[in-house]
Amino acid sequence: MTAVAGSWSPIVTDASGLIPIDTSATPISVSLTVSSVTPNVDLNHFGGTILTIEGSALPHAKTEGNNYTISFSDGSVCDVVSISSTLIRCITGEFDVSSSSNPTMTVNVNGITDASLNVTVRTDPTKVTSITPNSVSPVLKTLLTIKVSGCPNTLDKNDIEVFAVARSRNITTPINVVEVGVDGSDQYLKVKFGGSESDIYDIRVKSR
């Protein structure tokens, strides 16, 4: 098992109990190295991008009790979803592009930091330009077409998540993506919206 970044002091006991560490004893220091972050360009400034961070001396699991954070110099954070001794996966929050479109990423593990890498955030993010039809039956399933502009990559049905959020009840419901394609200079999604209670729904599109 590899050591985790931090400043560590041994705990020594014998049959009589704990043997204290002298204050003059130097703790064991384990450095942190972050070698790469992927993707590191064209990040969505609204957040939701899954980053894969590789390095060494990272915690072995989320449940070990280590303290760790991923943050950026614009004040945004990346929420860790999984971690191992060499890899972290996290989901970005919304970036402050008015502060910087090239923020520095800081990985902090038990007070030891690495701020050697930067990412580039798109200032002209992907946008949903239209949803048709915009009025549907509360009982019948309806096929919605969602047009998307400014996407730097080809949409993959398996990487897209779509949700309907009821404004008055703040209830989020996933919607099944049935097709993706290209329409002129834009791309589109076709999703199956099931019957639901009467309300105004905000449609949210997320790329995994």
Which of the four CATH numbers 3.30.2310.20, 2.60.40.2320, 3.90.1650.10, 3.40.50.10440 does domain 127-207 have? 2.60.40.2320
Q: What's the average model confidence in pLDDT over 99-113?
A: 95
Residue 50: Cβ within 10 Å count: 16
Which position has the higher pLDDT, 1 or 141?
141
pLDDT tens by residue, 129-140: 999 999 998 888
Can you give the pLDDT at residue 58?
96
Return residue ranges of the chain for CATH 2.60.40.10. 6-118
Report pLDDT for 172. 92
Among the CATH numbers 2.60.40.10, 3.20.20.70, 3.40.640.10, 1.10.10.10, which is that of 6-118?
2.60.40.10
Q: Taking the CA of residue 80 as centre, how many other CA atoms within 13 Å lie in the half-sphere pointing to its CB?
A: 20
Maximal CA-CA distance, the chain: 79
Higher pLDDT, 74 or 14: 74
Burial label for 22, CB within 10 Å (0-12, 13-18, 19+), is exposed
pLDDT per residue as tens digits for the range 42-54: 898 888 889 999 9
Cβ(154)–Cβ(189) under 8 Å?
no
Q: Quote the tokens at residue 39.
A: 């993707």
Q: What is the pTM of this model?
A: 0.72
As a whole number, the mean pLDDT across the chain is 90
